[in-house]
Amino acid sequence: MIDASPTDTLAAAADKIVAKDMDVFYGSFQAIKHASLTMKAQHVTALIGPSGCGKSTFLRALNRMHDLTPGARVEGCVMLDDEDIYGPDADPVVIRHRIGMVFQRPNPFPKTIYENVVYGPRIHGEHSRSALDGIAEHALKQAALWDEVKDRMHRSALDLSGGQQQRLCIARAVALNPEVILMDEPASALDPIATSKIEDLIGQLTDAYTVVIVTHSMQQAARISDFTAFFHLGEIVEVGPTNQIFTHPKEKRTEDYITGRFG
């Protein structure tokens, strides 16, 4: 190995999610073709590529959100630790408990801030008020929102700014104490200041969580991710440590995309 040492530590990290030969179909249209990708525990993996390349489709396959889309079909397997989340015993409700998700546009429920954060624990059977209070505080602190909302926990979440709403959605996912957090362009609807807050937050989240993030911004991928996978036309063209992808891409198509020649 001639590569620099950071890459070695990256390679040494444990595998958290491994997608093997995944195909996703919408009816007869194949949106993802034979995608294989390993996402390392407690690291950030960024999925980049031009619009329509299948990166969001891939992400949604990781917590079985395609189950909700009529006509969508996922083939291949996705291993979470050692178990296939598409296996016969796998239960989407459990999987989504372990793999949280943050969406493109902030989607807080039309309830209070507090009710939003404790929604997940509640539906999974936690009813003790003191436990929920503790979870809410911890989650909001992890989402770097606690100081801004601690005095108005019982106000409507819809009164928050867009950036705050998105951090609330992150807190809502964190409150379930998941192992993985999937993020689908979480900052695309936000202004630059709110975006940088979210980016800082993602860096801190890897202390406890594995993060997989779809982004349309290469700068963002470069800033926050440890690994980058480049998608094009439903295929994973190239995957590797982020600095290697951005400095020494092996594939011509990756290089063209990164240097702005298409996309």
Partner 1 sequence: MIALQARRARRTELIAVLGLRAAAGFVIFAMMALLLYLAFEGTKTFYVDHFPVWSFLFSPEFTPDANHPGAAVFIVGTLAVTLFAIAVGGPFGVAVGVFLAEIAPYRMTQILKPAIEVMVGIPSVVYGWLGLTLLVPIIRTHTSSPSGFGLLAGGIVLSIMILPTVITLSEDAFKSVPTVLKEGSLALGATRWQTITRVMLPSASSGVAVALILGIARAVGETLAIQMVIGNSTQFPKDLFTPTAALTTEIVTDMPGATAGSLLEHSLFSMAFLLLLIAMVLIVFVRFALRKRA
Partner 2 sequence: MAMTTAVPPRRSVSATESVRARKIADAVATAVLWVMASSIVVMLAAFIIYMVYLGWHALSLSFIFGVPKETTAGGGIGPEIYNSFYILILTLLFTTPIAVAAGVFLQEYAKPGLFRNIVQFSAESLATVPSVVMGLFGLLVFVYTFHWGYTALGGALTLTVLNLPALLRVTQEALLSVPDSLREASMGLGGTKWQTITRVVLPSAIGRLTTGIVLIAGRIYGETAALIFTAGLSVTGNHPYDINPFHTAETLAVHLWYTHSESIVPDVDRIGNGSALVLLIMVLLFNVSARIVGRALTKHFTGRSS
Q: Contact positions toward partner 2, by CB under 8 A? A: 9, 13, 41-42, 80-81, 83-85, 87, 89-91, 93-95, 97-98, 123-125, 177-179, 206-208
Q: Which of 44, 113, 114, 120 binds partner 1 (CB under 8 A)?
A: 120
Beta carbon of residue 139, minimum distance to partner 1 (angstroms, whole number): 12
DSSP letter assigned to residue 251: S
Alpha-carbon distances of 106 from 48, 91, 99, 103, 238, rounded to whole Å:
20, 26, 18, 6, 30
Q: Are 189 and 107 within 8 A, CB to CB? A: no
Q: Rule CB under 8 A: say whether 27 interacts with partner 1.
A: no
Choose the contact partner of 38 out of partner 1, partner 2, none; CB within 5 to 8 A by kind. none
- For partner 1, the binding residues in 57-96 under the rule CB under 8 A are 63, 65, 68, 70, 93-96
What is the dihedral angle through the alpha carbons of 124, 76, 59, 260, rounded to the nearest 10 degrees? Answer: 170
Distance of CA 148 to the CA centre of its chain: 24
Q: Binding of partner 1 at residue 124 (CB under 8 A)?
A: yes
Q: Which of 33, 34, 111, 141 binds partner 1 (CB under 8 A)?
A: 111
Candidates 123, 131, 208, 233; binder of partner 1 (CB under 8 A) is: 123
**CA-to-CA separations, 102 to 42, 46, 80, 210, in angstroms, rounded:** 17, 14, 19, 13
Chain Cα centroid distance, residue 136: 21
CB 33 within 8 A of CB 201: no
Which option in partner 2, partner 1, none does residue 183 bind, with CB closer than 5 to 8 A by kind? none
Query: What is the token pair recorded at 202?
Result: 């993602």
- Note whether 101 binds partner 1 by CB under 8 A: yes
Other beta carbons within 10 angstroms of residue 205's beta carbon come to 21
Q: 119 or 146: whose CB is closer to partner 1?
A: 119
Of 34, 105, 138, 223, the residue at the interface with partner 1 (CB under 8 A) is 105
Min separation Cβ 185 and partner 2, Å? 25
Q: State whether the Cα torsion 137-142-143-145 is positive or negative.
A: positive
Q: Restricting to residues 140-199, which ones interact with partner 1 according to CB under 8 A?
A: 169, 172-173, 176
In the complex with partner 1, which residue's Cβ is closer, 1 or 93? 93
